[in-house]
């Protein structure tokens, strides 16, 4: 599934992001399953590292910091940010106002 | 490329075939008691079973599902709302982050219930219809039932509920009304769900008269392709993908792998359409509870083993059709590793013809009242409001974060 250019451009990797509170995450051996109770949409996260990145968001002050925290190699950053952008596009990730690290 | 392992769609199906540590969703028949006695009922409902799980036991099950992170339960029956603790259990599940979906004919869906449903995204409802017009629907479900269903839909729309469903089991008699069903849903801001008629429970008796004729299957397939992404189908029609392209949805039998059924007395079956000793994995009242049945039962382990495809193995379409629905095969007397009775290549019909008049397996537990309170005996027998697709809600909108897979 190609990501729309708009989503990548509008996703602010330097801002803090949180998983929306109505999204449940279930770790799986292939990555994770996300279920959004608002849209009843099931999303497969087919990558255990991405799952860790999503986990790290709540304690990071930006999406980029979450990547660093999980030690995603620099050359993979764009791909991971695209995946996060896709989650933000479907509002499963929501921007968190600065400061309130949970 | 990087060190990251990225699964493709097919890998993911393989993961699902191996089974997950917990179901994604499951069907839970809370009671076999019902105010109706539909002649084709999949769970052969009627009488309440005295061994039913009580409120405390049901809550303990919810606690366990919460621990397993089961996203939601499809509640059916029987008519679940006849349990006096129905809303108590719904509220308890919601408080424990286990979503609830339930089906109803709409009779109890008044404004209060509608408001309750609209207030939370953890409760989802579907209203069952057998016809897109009063004539067709009421001929089957009884005078006034179409109006009742529409009233329930209006109540939901008025209460501001979103994402509620109209659920239609596609039969020989309503397959001509697909566009009309779609319009009915669109006009009310509802989503249309189409479900396959499966020969389970009392439905086994009516399947012969109601299931789609080969030409109609093609009509349905073409319609589904034309409306791809606009209707929900769960795991209903993957056997039709042998006509050409794979349909959206999960193209795999999830029985015992990603779904299962808990019945009112706590028996755990592989699938709500497979209520028979052959598919009974255990009872959750036993030590270890639901979790150990899901993870360790011999039955579920065997369902998660690689399937050979049997007589289907040489078919070009096995990759997407997967030989169809296990329950449909079982209750029509066909071998589980061969073609579906509705195999679009016609092999199912051949196999059925070869069987001749055999005794088909009967559903395991018949809870029919000896004297039904009300017998609907129309020539087009209806499919019950309580028929719950095992993968209801597990639908086309799935988004894989596949931007990772270059
Ligand atoms: S309904 Fe059929 S295809 Fe679906 S899980 Fe049950 S047995 Fe498998
Ligand atoms: S032979 Fe088997 S795999 Fe091929 S279309 Fe028929 S049911 Fe599907």
Concatenated DSSP letters for B161-204? --S-EEEEEE-TTTGGGHHHHHHHHHHTT-EEEEEE----TTHH
Confidence of residue B366 (pLDDT cuts 50, 70, 90): low
The ipTM value here is 0.80
d(CA B307, CA B269): 19
For chain B, how many helices (H) and strands (E)?
Answer: 14, 10
By most ligand atoms within 8 Å of CB, the mutation choice from B390, B391, B392, B393 for ligand 1 is: B390
Q: Considering CB atoms only, which of A3, A28, A37 is closest to B122?
A: A37
Q: Do A42 and B21 touch (CB under 8 A)?
A: no
The pair phi, psi for residue B165, each rounded to 5°, is -120, 150
Of A2-11, A27-36, A40-49, which has the strongest mean pLDDT? A27-36
d(CA A79, CA B126): 39
Q: Report residues whose beta carbon is within 6 angstroms of any ligand 1 atom.
A: B 198, 235, 253-255, 259, 271, 273-274, 325-327, 390
User: pTM for the complete prediction?
Assistant: 0.84
β-bridge mates for residue B77, sequence order: B31
Assess contact for A8 and A82: CB atoms under 8 A.
Answer: yes
Residue B397, helix vs strand vs coil = coil
Q: Establish whether residue B323 lines the binding site of ligand 2, counting it when its CB lies within 6 angstroms of any ligand atom.
A: yes
- Measured in Å, residue B174 CA sits from the centre of ligand 1 at 22
Q: Specify the pLDDT at position B207.
A: 84
Confidence of residue B263 (pLDDT cuts 50, 70, 90): very high
Chain B CA closest to residue A84:
B401
- In terms of phi and psi (left: phi > 0; alpha: psi -120 to 50; beta: otherwise), the region of B124 is beta
Edge to edge, what strands does the sheet with B123-129 contain? B191-196, B165-170, B123-129, B99-104, B72-77, B25-31, B261-262, B267-269, B280-283
Task: From the CA of B315, give the closest atom in ligand 2.
Answer: 4
pLDDT in tens, B242-255: 888 777 766 778 89
Structural domains in chain A plus CATH codes? 5-92 (3.90.930)
Confidence of residue B389 (pLDDT cuts 50, 70, 90): low
Task: From the CA of B234, give the closest atom in ligand 1.
Answer: 4
Percent of chain B at pLDDT > 90 equals: 44
d(CA B391, CA B380): 26
By most ligand atoms within 8 Å of CB, the mutation choice from B196, B314, B318 for ligand 2 is: B318
Is pLDDT at B147 greater than 60 in this prediction?
yes
pLDDT in tens, B266-315: 999 999 888 899 999 999 999 999 999 999 999 999 999 988 788 898 89
Assess contact for A92 and A18: CB atoms under 8 A.
Answer: no
Is pLDDT at B374 greater than 50 in this prediction?
no
B202 vs B70, more confident: B70
CA angle B180, B185, B190 (to 5 degrees): 170
């Amino acid at each position: 599934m190609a990501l729309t250019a708009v989503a990548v451009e509008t996703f602010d990797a330097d801002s803090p992001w949180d998983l929306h509170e109505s999204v449940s995450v279930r770790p799986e051996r292939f990555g994770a399953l996300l279920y959004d109770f608002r849209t009843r949409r099931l999303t497969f996260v087919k990558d255990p590292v991405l799952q860790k990145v999503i986990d790290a968001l709540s304690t990071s002050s930006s999406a980029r910091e979450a990547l660093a925290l999980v030690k995603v190699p620099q050359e993979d950053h764009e791909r991971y940010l695209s995946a996060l952008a896709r989650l933000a596009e479907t509002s499963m990730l929501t921007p968190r106002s600065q400061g309130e690290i949970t | 490329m990087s060190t990251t392992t990225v699964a493709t769609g097919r890998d993911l199906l393989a993961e699902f075939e191996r089974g997950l540590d917990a179901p994604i969703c499951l069907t839970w028949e809370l009671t076999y008691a019902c105010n109706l006695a539909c002649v084709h009922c999949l769970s052969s409902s009627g009488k309440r079973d005295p061994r039913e799980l009580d409120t405390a036991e049901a809550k303990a099950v919810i606690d366990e599902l919460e621990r397993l992170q089961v996203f939601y339960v499809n509640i059916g029956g029987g008519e679940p709302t006849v349990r006096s603790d129905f809303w108590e259990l719904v509220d308890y599940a919601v408080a424990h982050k286990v979503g609830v979906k339930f089906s109803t004919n709409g009779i109890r869906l008044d404004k209060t219930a509608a408001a309750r449903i609209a207030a939370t995204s953890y409760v989802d409802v579907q209203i069952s219809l057998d016809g897109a017009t009063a004539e067709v629907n009421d001929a089957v479900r009884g005078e006034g039932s179409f109006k009742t269903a529409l009233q329930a839909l209006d109540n939901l729309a008025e209460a501001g509920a979103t994402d509620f469903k109209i659920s239609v089991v596609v039969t020989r008699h309503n397959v001509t009304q697909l566009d009309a069903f779609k319009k009915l849903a669109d006009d009310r801001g509802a989503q249309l769900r189409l479900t396959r008629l499966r020969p389970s429970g009392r439905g086994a008796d009516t399947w012969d008269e109601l299931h789609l004729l080969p030409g109609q299957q093609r009509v349905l397939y073409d319609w589904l392709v034309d409306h791809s992404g606009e209707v929900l189908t769960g795991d209903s029609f993957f056997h039709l993908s042998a006509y050409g392209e794979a349909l959206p949805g999960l193209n795999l039998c999830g029985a015992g792998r990603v779904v299962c059924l808990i019945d009112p007395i706590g028996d755990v079956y592989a699938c709500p359409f497979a209520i028979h000793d052959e598919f009974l994995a255990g009872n959750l009242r036993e030590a270890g509870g639901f979790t150990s049945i899901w993870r360790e039962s011999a039955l579920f382990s065997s369902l998660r083993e690689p399937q050979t495809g049997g007589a289907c193995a040489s078919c070009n379409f096995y990759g997407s059709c997967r030989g169809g629905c296990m329950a449909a095969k079982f209750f029509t007397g066909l071998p589980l590793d061969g073609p579906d009775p509705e195999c679009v290549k016609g092999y199912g019909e051949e196999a059925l013809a070869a069987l001749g008049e055999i005794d088909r397996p009967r559903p395991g537990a018949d809870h029919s009242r000896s004297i039904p309170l009300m017998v609907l005996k129309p020539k087009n027998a209806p499919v019950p409001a309580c028929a719950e697709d095992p993968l209801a809600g597990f639908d086309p909108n799935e988004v894989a974060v596949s931007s990772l897979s270059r």
